[in-house]
Amino acid sequence: NTIMSLWNVDDEATMYLMGIFYSNLAERGPGEALRRAMLNTRRRYPEPSKWAAFLTFGNPVVAPDSH
């Protein structure tokens, strides 16, 4: 998976968003982790230019282990 930004974003807001993203990634998968991170960041930084630039490409969910 790849997480990317469509435009230059504020460093502080990005650090906040990515911290939430990574804390949710293992149990939620990249698509849901990014969605939750964006919603949470939106509450702290209401201006869309600070949180709406991010996209995830790849598989939006994590496949369960095949052991």
Residue-by-residue pLDDT tens, the chain, 67 positions: 899 999 999 999 999 999 999 999 988 889 999 999 999 999 999 999 999 999 999 876 665 554 4
Predicted confidence at residue 11, as pLDDT, reads: 96
CA distances 28 to 36, 45, 57, 59, 64, Å, are 9, 23, 15, 12, 11
Bridge partners of 56, per DSSP, are 3
pTM: 0.83
Show contacts of 21-24: CB within 8 Å, 24+ apart.
none
| Chain centroid, CA 45 distance in Å | 14
